[in-house]
Chains A and B, each alone.
Chain A
Amino acid sequence: VNVTASVFFAAIVAVTLGITYWASKRNTSTSDHYVASKGITGWQNGLAITGDFVSVGGFLGITGAIALQGFNGFYLSYGIPIAFLLVLLVVAEPMRNLGKYTVGDVITSRFGTRSVRAIAAVNTLLISIVYMISQFVGAGALIQLLLGINYNVAVVVIGVLASVYILAGGMLATTWIQIFKAVLLLSGTFLLLLLVLSRFDFNPVAVFDETAATLGDGVVLPSDYGGLLANLDVLSITIAVALGPVGLPHVLMRFLTVLDARTARSSVAVASVFMGLFFILLPILGYGAAIYVGQAEISAANPAGNLAAPQLSEALGGDLLLAFIAAVSFATLLAVMAGIVIAASGAFAHDLHQRVVRRPGNGPRAAQGGPHRRGSHLRDRPHPGFRRPGLQPGIPRHSRLRHGGERKPPGHTADDLLEKVQPDGGGERYGGRTRKLGGPRACKPEPSGRERDLSLHQPGAGLYPHRLPRQLLRHDLE
């Protein structure tokens, strides 16, 4: 048993539990639990996103891949900045503006059916489970290697730790653990980098030169992967690296923890600077490992090269640095695990259990927890675009008189009362329910997809819809 490593690991666990204890006192409401009551600042969130991304896969995996395969290992890395650009340009602000607690909320606010929410939740769970398994495997292997604890025991201990973080500390704990780990990992990487560069008079080009001189040009040039299928396989992984992060639930959830679109934007900007610096410098660590540890030793320790970074730290800084880097990797695993667990728990508890299985009602109203009434005067207006063939023109006008004129506060209308009596919502959205009720709204057409677009803006939402509802615009100008 490595005593230094044990001390570092214990310190990491102690700090994370301390953060959890601190957060638990502030973790009182549902909003606290899932999204830290939207109180995270841009810098904090940026570091937390960096933490989510700079995972063990990045740090250990890519360093090892570059050490063993040269440029061919870097393909796991150069998609990341593009991924973040896409997150910034396409998803960050709409996520913030449309979502409440989960990805399911965001999608439901545009397409208000229960099945869409269920699919979003199941997707979140599937992605999270796959991601979680790889974290478990990495953490178990690392602990077994350094502390000599049995693999199965290690996996159970980590699972319990992650559950404690989430149950007690919620999103606030997850975010701060992620920030703590991001700072640790970035400084650990920076330290290793300085140690490697110090042997080359701080000239990064010399690292490449030395590698090419000792290991051949093959390691600095891209090479064929062997056959069309293998090449297409690599191409497909590269595309997945660039496009996949745009849909990772535990990353998307981070945009729900900030106050407004501007903060969401600044958090991606902060993250892209730190993450870019991290990933662009990995080749130096990888080549450093290839030179000072040797490719044979790296693949002997792990065929995929996953231990290259710890091995490099041992070669350059001895036991102390090895223990530090291993402990940082462990903190990374714990923090990423916590992030995945809270995304998955939101999908399970908030989406699947609350809104699909128990189904208190459907649609965007259920998603936003509220005031659909405010929009009913828009929905109920007669418009050719909304009318289905065979419906009497003008009939929805009754409902406009009734609902548009009254403006009852949410929770006090007949429908809301009915919903309390019939907790299952009585059928497919407004159509089914109002038919049971009878009265003027009985003839109201079932909302089409276009109508639902109009009900996307709940209080507190930002100003940007994905696209302008032209139907509404033209009608209102008439």
Chain B
Amino acid sequence: VQQSEYSGIAETEAFKELVRRKRAFLIPTVVFVLLFFIMLPILSIFTDVLDGKVIGAISWAYLYAFAQFFLAWIVTFLYWREAGRFDELARKAREQASGGVENFA
């Protein structure tokens, strides 16, 4: 994208929708992931709530730690799916921009 095209793209509905949806997805996700992560060291270091054994000798602390890996995989998958829609909106934004005002391409 060249700068001259950028102003055109930034005006399009698709671009505004793209920015809005990216934020709506990314901000809550990142906040949730960070909170989910930080609770593990806090709980395991400063409290005893994760000390119980659940499956055989595997403790709550280990289960919580393993859950972080599964969280990462699940969110990666969700983002992957969502990003396909972002790409689609980005493509639309380009189209709308080139169909509209001046185009120096």
* Residues in A lying within 8 Å of B, measured CB to CB: 71, 74-75, 77-79, 81-82, 84-86, 88-90, 205-206, 208-209, 211-213, 217, 220-222, 224-225, 231, 234-235, 238-239, 242, 262, 265, 268-269, 272-273, 276, 279-280, 283, 371, 374-375, 377-378, 407, 454-455, 457-459, 461-464, 468-469, 472-473, 476-477
B3 to chain A, nearest CB (A): 3
A98 to chain B, nearest CB (A): 12
CB nearest neighbor in A for B86? A464
- With A and B bound together, what is the CA distance between A365 and B62 in angstroms? 50
- With A and B bound together, what is the CA distance between A231 and B41 in angstroms? 10
Residues of A near B38 (CB, < 8 A) are 239
* Residues in B lying within 8 Å of A, measured CB to CB: 1-4, 6-7, 9-11, 15-16, 18-19, 22, 26, 29-30, 33-34, 37-38, 40-42, 44-46, 50-51, 53, 55-59, 61-62, 65-66, 68-69, 71-73, 75-76, 79-80, 83, 86-87, 90, 93-94, 104
A220 and B53 within 8 A (CB): yes
- With A and B bound together, what is the CA distance between A124 and B29 in angstroms? 29
CB nearest neighbor in A for B36? A82
- With A and B bound together, what is the CA distance between A12 and B4 in angstroms? 51
Known A78-B65, A463-B9; 13 more pairs at CB < 8 Å: A81-B68, A86-B30, A205-B56, A205-B57, A211-B57, A222-B44, A231-B46, A262-B83, A279-B69, A454-B3, A457-B3, A468-B10, A472-B10
Contact of A457 among B1, B76, B86, B94 (CB under 8 A): B1
- With A and B bound together, what is the CA distance between A221 and B46 in angstroms? 13
A71 to chain B, nearest CB (A): 5
CB nearest neighbor in B for A206? B56
The tally of CB-CB contacts under 8 A between chains A and B is 161
A457 and B6 within 8 A (CB): yes
Residues of A near B87 (CB, < 8 A) are 262
Question: Top 8 A-B pairs ranked by shortest CB distance?
Answer: A375-B3, A81-B72, A212-B57, A222-B44, A208-B57, A78-B65, A205-B56, A238-B41
CB nearest neighbor in B for A243? B34
Residues of B near A472 (CB, < 8 A) are 7, 10
B33 and A273 within 8 A (CB): no
CB nearest neighbor in A for B83? A265
Q: Is the interface of A mostly helix, strand, loop or mixed?
A: helix
B4 and A74 within 8 A (CB): no
- With A and B bound together, what is the CA distance between A267 and B46 in angstroms? 37
Q: Is the interface of B mostly helix, strand, loop or mixed?
A: helix
CB nearest neighbor in B for A260? B87
B10 and A280 within 8 A (CB): no
Residues of B near A211 (CB, < 8 A) are 57
A364 to chain B, nearest CB (A): 10
B35 to chain A, nearest CB (A): 11
B67 to chain A, nearest CB (A): 9
B59 and A205 within 8 A (CB): no
- With A and B bound together, what is the CA distance between A82 and B38 in angstroms? 10
A86 and B61 within 8 A (CB): no
A283 and B6 within 8 A (CB): no
Residues of A near B29 (CB, < 8 A) are 89
B10 and A79 within 8 A (CB): no
A222 and B83 within 8 A (CB): no
Residues of B near A454 (CB, < 8 A) are 3, 6
B68 and A78 within 8 A (CB): yes
Residues of B near A217 (CB, < 8 A) are 53, 57
A74 and B57 within 8 A (CB): no
Given A454-B3, A457-B3: A222 touches B73 (CB 8 Å cut-off) = no
Residues of B near A461 (CB, < 8 A) are 1
- With A and B bound together, what is the CA distance between A273 and B69 in angstroms? 9
B42 and A78 within 8 A (CB): no
Given A222-B51, A374-B3, A454-B3: A205 touches B58 (CB 8 Å cut-off) = yes
B14 to chain A, nearest CB (A): 10
For this complex, 20 residue pairs linking A to B, each with C-beta atoms less than 8 Å apart, are: A77-B65, A78-B68, A81-B68, A82-B34, A209-B56, A221-B59, A231-B45, A235-B45, A262-B83, A262-B87, A276-B73, A280-B66, A375-B4, A378-B3, A454-B6, A457-B1, A458-B2, A458-B3, A464-B86, A473-B11
- With A and B bound together, what is the CA distance between A473 and B11 in angstroms? 6
B6 to chain A, nearest CB (A): 5
B19 and A220 within 8 A (CB): no
Residues of B near A205 (CB, < 8 A) are 55-58
A59 to chain B, nearest CB (A): 17
Residues of B near A371 (CB, < 8 A) are 2
Contact of B59 among A86, A90, A220 (CB under 8 A): A220
B79 to chain A, nearest CB (A): 6
A234 and B45 within 8 A (CB): yes
B75 and A85 within 8 A (CB): yes
B6 and A89 within 8 A (CB): no
CB nearest neighbor in A for B74? A85
B79 and A88 within 8 A (CB): yes
- With A and B bound together, what is the CA distance between A378 and B2 in angstroms? 12
A79 and B80 within 8 A (CB): no
- With A and B bound together, what is the CA distance between A339 and B52 in angstroms? 42
Residues of A near B33 (CB, < 8 A) are 82, 85-86, 89
